[in-house]
Structures are given as structure tokens and as C-alpha cells.
A = this chain, B = another copy of it.
């Protein structure tokens, strides 16, 4: 049961697709403090809190304070309150009655989940305007277990926000990326090396340097002299090139996107009516006003430039939006620097000076310098900040429906808000080659599933910082289960294409295993999308025992299996908790594995580098196919079935042509 309450006069977000009448009267469960702009709730020691999508820390969100205000911050350390997304859905569990809460407002909201006081959940609003949706398990709730009630709440929420984006089947292949492959020869080399080793690959990503001086919808014709031919060459090899698109449009005379945007008034404006001059990769840019229907349609149509050259997938970046600087602020900074010149700078003045320059980029004050035309009103950016990336990706998604009405297009984004899940997936931003970020990747997946971002994943092996061979093996060993499965690395870091390492055979076996699992992963993905369910679940969404509540490093993937990835260095095994008897599969390769039924309880299991632990649930089936070097060559019939007290036929296999829109 979903009830909608309204606080103040919220700005619409277009995140919800159901028309629900506002319930008058007090918001149940919460204490409302109008003066402070807060909703609060007492929690017992046993209450858990799940949700909030792409945030730091564990699966149970208790014990930290999170702020929804989309941020381009590459340091995803435990103390960060904001990352790239605002996904304000959470569930507070209790043993008798769990409660789903969706806080729908495009501005800044803070969730203090037992941070200030261990037993208090406090939601604070910068502007006390929001639609609050409260979701409880349906009428028969009295008879539902905790786990059933959790799933029930998620399902109801997902119906509220609409069906998740569905990518093409080939997007379940493995993708290789780097900032950047600079020329077509470099891209070709990546494809060649993977093919030489027989490591499957479906996608190669193009980061910012494929463009002509970082101009959206252009291609550098020195590096890629005949781009359509090259796209075609790759496609003939079964490899999709996936270019990046940035939020900022370079200010450059003669550049059509810039000139049209200026002419049609499609860029965001300062209070004085001038187009905001900000800067990102190319230097000075204007930002399209993605919140304006016409500008959004115009920008979306620009993707046609690349679709027409054979491109069928994109990633949208820098759409928090990231801002290196605004022209106005940069001038202020240079003026202010004068005051520090020639002085004896001490603790105060030195750090003030450093901070002056250090805080130029992604300076929150810049978000108050410009305005949108949104649903017929002029609204200052910071009030709708969290909708910007969403609407950039919506621009693309809506355009693809027009431009490619039959064929699915791959799309995922860095920044997001709930609602965007209908138009694309997300990747988890600029993580690092840290073991702790492998764990973070594991822990973020269920929260993303909850709010409908099913086609998602992190940059495996880590984006920033230098990876190690063992970290790469362990991260790949988890990444084989995430729908978006991309190896990506930042400029200046160690090269981490899998063929760079000694353990080539291990990597081949792991990626082969991924491809062998794709029929299962795709089937489970599609059922989760079409039935409004989660693809990744914490154990306590299926099991009601006390121990399952606290397991933060094992996940259920689809309906048949549980996984227990290794995320620590220099270890050859790990502890695994089985909430019921399960059949353990220790994969060394798709066709080389140990198989053993283990009793419910605690186990220390060997899982050396290259070994992947998968646990078949009782009464379930895991279908496996023969791997192939491309998804298009995978057989979806003639599968092998690993069963645990189940008949192979009982597996409900979803198949389709993998490309037609549904």
C-alpha cells in the first residue's frame, strides 16, 4: 500500500509514473518539525535501514549521514555524504512491520541514519517541500515474513516509479575502457589482443579524447579518419564502440551544437539572462537546459549524429553537472589571490589561500549562479540540482525512442535521480583500485536494484589509482555477475587491460565464465525488470533468520544463486554463511568446478585466485551455456543445468531476440 503525503509546495521531478492522490493529514510514523524542516523517526536497536542507492558504506545504512546533492567526487571514502546520485528511497525494517519511504524532492535532503543519535532517523530538508511516499506491504501484511514484506515494498515502489531501462543483450558482454584510447589503432589493438587470447569482449569504450577538442557529437578526424568505416569494421568483428557524451557544450564559433543552442536559447542562463559561461574539458562551455522540454528534445536529437555513424551505445558523463569553474567565479578567485601575494602566510591565511584555489571546481556556490526554464518556471539550479543528470539521460532516452523505435540503444549515466532508471543505467562513477572499493561495489548493488537501476555496475579493477593483478582477478571474479561489466581506468594510472597481466589464462577462464552465465544473468535481469523485482538482494530479503540480517558481503543474484566474493588481499579463502543448505560450486572455469552440498551455517571455504564461489539455492537451477567470444555467438538452447534438488525444466528461462524494444 502506497500513500502520498505532501509537504509544502514541491517542485515536480517526473520520477513517479503513478497518479496517487495526496493523503491529507499528518504523516504517520514520523515526527514533523516545521521549524527545522525535519522528519524524524525512532529506531529500535534491531531496525535496519536499506536503500539510498549509490552511497558509501555498507548495505545496512545505519550509522552515517547522507546528503542527496549530486557531486562529482572521485574520493569515495567512508566519510563522504554525497556521491553522484540522489536516490531517496529507503526501507526501515522492523520485525513486525517494515516501511518504505520515498522522499521526492529535487533539492538538498539529508538522511541522518543514527549518526547524530544512534536511535534516531532524521530527514532534513533545505527547502521543506517534498512529496513523501510511504509504502507498506500489502493488505495481507500480517501474514508476511520480514523478507516477503521487504520484497513486497520494493515491488510496490518499483511500480510507482515505472519500469527499468532494458539494454540490448550484447550489453551483457564484457567491455574494455580507458581514459583514453586515442586512435583507431589503439582501439584495434585492444580488440586484437583480446581476440588473440580468446578472451570474450563485446564493447570498447571511447572516453573524451575521441572527440574533436572535447566537443560533443564530433569525432577527431586525425585519430579516427573515417569513423563510420571504423565503427563498421569493429561491428563486423562483433565489437560495439561506446562513446562518452559530456554535459557541457564547447563555446566555439562555427560549432553547430553551440551555435544552435545559443540561437534557440537552449542553454542555462544567469539571472541577468546571459548564458552561463562555465568550463569543463574543452575550457569554456554552456550547459544545455535539459530540464526544458524543447532543449531536451533538441539535445537528444544530436545523438543521431553518432547513431548515423553506426554507434548504438553511449555513456553520459559530467552531468552532476561537474564544473571546473564558472567564468565569473574564476575572475573573483584571481582577484582574491592578489591579497595573499608577498605576505607571511600562516595557518589561517595559507589554508584560506589554498582553499580559494582548491575549491574552484565543483564549487556549490556556482550552482546558485544559473537558472532553468522548467515546466514554465524559471528556477535556480540548486533547487533542481539533482534532476540535471537525470534529464540529460532522459534527453537521450526519449530521443532513442524516436530515432531508434525498434532497436534498443545502450545508455548509462554517471549522475542520476530516481526516474532516470527508465532511460538508462548507471556506473558507480570514478572509484579507485582499492580493495575497499571492490567491497563497496558489492554493497552498492542491492541498493541500486531497490530503486530500479538494474543495468549498473562499477568500473572493475578500479578507475583511479593503480590496480594490482590480484585485485583485478578478484574484482573480475565479482564483476562477472553485474549486468554492466566494464574494466575502466583513469589517465595516468597503470594499464589494466586483462592482457597486460601474467594471469592471462585465469582472466580468460573468468570472462568465459561470465559469458557462460549470460543466459542466466539476462534471464534474471529481464524478469527483474518486467516483474519490478531486485536483481541483487541482501540475504535478509530472502531469509528471516537473525544471522542473515548482518551479512554484508554475500549477495543473492537472481532467484537461483548466492555469491560470496573474495575482497581481501593475500587470502586463499573466506568465511561464508549459508542461511540454508546450499550446493556450493567452486568454479575454476565454466566447465571445471567442484560441487558440494553444504549444510546451513558457517563455513570457511577455499577460494584461491581464479576460483569463484557460487551457491545454488535449494530447489533452484543454474543454467550455463558454452562461452563464445561475443554475446551474439552464445547459444541459448542446449544449456547445461546445475541443479540442487530441482528439475532442470523448472527453471523459468526468459529469452527474446535481445534487441527489439519491449
**A residues bordering B, Cβ < 8 Å?**
48, 57-58, 60, 62-64, 77-79, 114-115, 117-118, 214, 279-284, 324-325, 330, 334, 337, 340-342, 344-347, 349-350, 353-354, 357-358, 360-361, 432-436, 464-466, 468-471, 502-503, 547, 550, 552, 568-573, 575, 577, 602, 604
**When A79-B465, A550-B570, A602-B604 are in contact, do A345 and B358 touch as well, CB less than 8 Å?**
no
Among B283, B434, B550, B552, the residue within 8 A (CB) of A345 is: B283
Cβ contact within 8 Å between A346 and B279: yes
Cβ contact within 8 Å between A347 and B468: no
Cβ contact within 8 Å between A569 and B57: yes
Cβ contact within 8 Å between A63 and B117: no
**When A350-B325, A569-B57, A604-B602 are in contact, do A283 and B550 touch as well, CB less than 8 Å?**
no
Extra inter-chain contacts (8) besides given A78-B435, A214-B347, CB under 8 Å: A77-B432, A77-B434, A115-B466, A117-B502, A118-B470, A283-B344, A334-B337, A337-B337
A-B pairs, 10 with minimum CB distance: A283-B346, A79-B465, A357-B357, A283-B344, A60-B570, A78-B434, A575-B575, A281-B347, A602-B604, A550-B571
Contacts of A79 in B (CB 8 A): 432-434, 464-466
Contacts of A77 in B (CB 8 A): 77, 432, 434, 465
Cβ contact within 8 Å between A279 and B358: no
How far in angstroms is the closest Cβ of chain B from A421?
A: 26
Contacts of A502 in B (CB 8 A): 117-118
Among B361, B571, B604, the residue within 8 A (CB) of A354 is: B361
Cβ contact within 8 Å between A341 and B345: no
Q: Is the interface of A mostly helix, strand, loop or mixed?
A: loop
**How long is the Cα–Cα vector from A573 to B546 in the complex, in angstroms?**
11
**When A77-B77, A325-B350 are in contact, do A62 and B279 touch as well, CB less than 8 Å?**
no
Show 15 A/B contacts (Cβ-Cβ < 8 Å), sorted by A: A58-B569, A60-B569, A63-B470, A77-B77, A78-B465, A118-B503, A279-B344, A279-B345, A280-B347, A281-B346, A325-B345, A334-B341, A354-B357, A547-B604, A552-B570
Among B358, B466, B577, the residue within 8 A (CB) of A357 is: B358
**Please, which residue of chain B has its CB at the minimum distance from the CB of A355?**
B357
How far in angstroms is the closest Cβ of chain B from A318?
A: 11
**How long is the Cα–Cα vector from A550 to B469 in the complex, in angstroms?**
19
**Please, which residue of chain B has its CB at the minimum distance from the CB of A80?**
B465
How far in angstroms is the closest Cβ of chain B from A210?
A: 14
Contacts of A433 in B (CB 8 A): 79
Contacts of A349 in B (CB 8 A): 283
**How long is the Cα–Cα vector from A577 to B571 in the complex, in angstroms?**
14
**How long is the Cα–Cα vector from A474 to B359 in the complex, in angstroms?**
34
Contacts of A337 in B (CB 8 A): 334, 337
Contacts of A63 in B (CB 8 A): 468, 470-471, 569-570
Contacts of A60 in B (CB 8 A): 569-570
Contacts of A357 in B (CB 8 A): 353-354, 357-358
**When A79-B465, A552-B568 are in contact, do A345 and B361 touch as well, CB less than 8 Å?**
no
**Please, which residue of chain B has its CB at the minimum distance from the CB of A434?**
B78
Contacts of A342 in B (CB 8 A): 334
Cβ contact within 8 Å between B325 and A279: no
Contacts of A48 in B (CB 8 A): 570
How far in angstroms is the closest Cβ of chain B from A583?
A: 21
Cβ contact within 8 Å between A575 and B602: yes
**How long is the Cα–Cα vector from A593 to B573 in the complex, in angstroms?**
32
**How long is the Cα–Cα vector from A575 to B48 in the complex, in angstroms?**
21
Contacts of A341 in B (CB 8 A): 334
Contacts of A552 in B (CB 8 A): 568, 570-571
Contacts of A469 in B (CB 8 A): 118
How far in angstroms is the closest Cβ of chain B from A92?
A: 14
**How long is the Cα–Cα vector from A604 to B118 in the complex, in angstroms?**
25
How far in angstroms is the closest Cβ of chain B from A528?
A: 26
**When A58-B569, A552-B568 are in contact, do A279 and B435 touch as well, CB less than 8 Å?**
no
**How long is the Cα–Cα vector from A342 to B281 in the complex, in angstroms?**
17
**Please, which residue of chain B has its CB at the minimum distance from the CB of A341?**
B334
Contacts of A344 in B (CB 8 A): 279, 283-284
Contacts of A577 in B (CB 8 A): 604
Cβ contact within 8 Å between B358 and A354: yes
How far in angstroms is the closest Cβ of chain B from A116?
A: 9
Contacts of A279 in B (CB 8 A): 344-346, 350
Cβ contact within 8 Å between B350 and A468: no
**When A48-B570, A77-B77, A569-B63 are in contact, do A354 and B350 touch as well, CB less than 8 Å?**
no
**How long is the Cα–Cα vector from A282 to B569 in the complex, in angstroms?**
43
How far in angstroms is the closest Cβ of chain B from A545?
A: 13
**How long is the Cα–Cα vector from A337 to B354 in the complex, in angstroms?**
13
Contacts of A570 in B (CB 8 A): 48, 58, 60, 62-63, 550, 552
Instruction: Find the residue from A78, A325, A357 having the highest chain B CB count within 10 A.
Output: A78
**Please, which residue of chain B has its CB at the minimum distance from the CB of A284?**
B344
Contacts of A569 in B (CB 8 A): 57-58, 60, 62-63
**How long is the Cα–Cα vector from A299 to B481 in the complex, in angstroms?**
61
How far in angstroms is the closest Cβ of chain B from A634?
A: 32
Instruction: Find the residue from A48, A77, A281, A282 having the highest chain B CB count within 10 A.
Output: A77
**Please, which residue of chain B has its CB at the minimum distance from the CB of A575?**
B575
**Please, which residue of chain B has its CB at the minimum distance from the CB of A465?**
B79
**How long is the Cα–Cα vector from A117 to B468 in the complex, in angstroms?**
9
How far in angstroms is the closest Cβ of chain B from A451?
A: 20
Contacts of A361 in B (CB 8 A): 350, 354
**How long is the Cα–Cα vector from A444 to B433 in the complex, in angstroms?**
21
Contacts of A345 in B (CB 8 A): 279, 283, 324-325, 330
How far in angstroms is the closest Cβ of chain B from A243?
A: 17
Instruction: Find the residue from A284, A353, A577 having the highest chain B CB count within 10 A.
Output: A353
